[in-house]
Amino acid sequence: MKIVFATNNAHKLREVSQALGDTFTLVTPRECGITEDIPENEPTLEGNALAKARYIRSRTGLDCFADDTGLEVEALGGEPGVHSARYATDGHDDEANKRLLLERLADKENRRARFRTAIALIDGDGEHLFEGIVEGRIAREEHGADGFGYDPLFVPEGEERTFAQMSAEEKNAISHRGRAVRLLAEHLRGGKR
C-alpha cells in the first residue's frame, strides 16, 4: 500500500517506516516532484500537520499524511511547542535548539516535559487526526548518540535513559511519534482507505 508522507526528513522517514512495517510503502514529496519547502505557519501542531497534508494532496491528488511534533516543557509554559524545530533559529539547527533549551532551564528544578505528535491523514474518506504523547523530563546534559532533535535530552517516564540512548525499536515502542503512527496504521489497516 503506497502513501505519501509529507516529509523529506530522513530521520522521520526511517522512524515512521519502521513503525508502519512492511504493509506500507512511503513515498516522499520529492519523489512526487515536490521540491519546495512545505509551509508550516499554523499556531498548533494539528494545524501544521493538516496544512502540510492539504498541500501535498492538492498537488498530487494522492492519499497522504503529515506530522508535526513539539516538545512542551512545563516550566517554560509549553515552549518550544509548535516552534520546536526552529526554537533557536529560523533553520533546523538541533544543536542551537538544545543549547537554548538547556539555557532556559538552567535555574529550573521542574524538568517535566512531554513530546506530542499530531498526524493528519487525507484519504478518500476525508481528513483524520491522530495524536501521540509521551511524558518525561529534560536531562541536565545530553546523553546518547542515536536519535535526532531533542532526543539526547529527553528522558521518557519510567526510564533513566534518553531517547538517544535507546535503539530505534525501543524508542518507537514508547515514543510520541510511534504512538501516533500506530493509530494511523490501525486506521489504514481497518479498511478505511
* pLDDT value for 191: 57
Helices (H) and strands (E) in the chain, counts: 5, 7
Q: Tell me the β-bridge partners of 3.
A: 26
Q: Tell me the β-bridge partners of 4.
A: 27, 64
Residues of the chain scoring pLDDT < 70: 191-193
Whose grid coordinates read 498526524?
119
3-state secondary structure of 49: helix
* pLDDT value for 174: 94
* pLDDT value for 31: 93
CA angle 93, 44, 121 (to 5 degrees): 95
Q: DSSP letter string over 67-133?
A: EEEEEEEGGGTT-EETTGGGSSSSS--HHHHHHHHHHHHTT-S--EEEEEEEEEEEETTEEEEEEEE
pLDDT tens digits, one per residue of 137-179: 999 999 999 888 999 999 999 999 999 999 988 998 999 999 9
* pLDDT value for 192: 47
Q: b/e per residue, 85-114, with b = 16+ CB within 10 A?
A: bebbeeeeebeebbebbeebbeeeeebebb
Active site residue ranges = 68
Q: How far apart are CA 102 and CA 153, in angstroms?
A: 9
* pLDDT value for 115: 97
3-state secondary structure of 39: coil
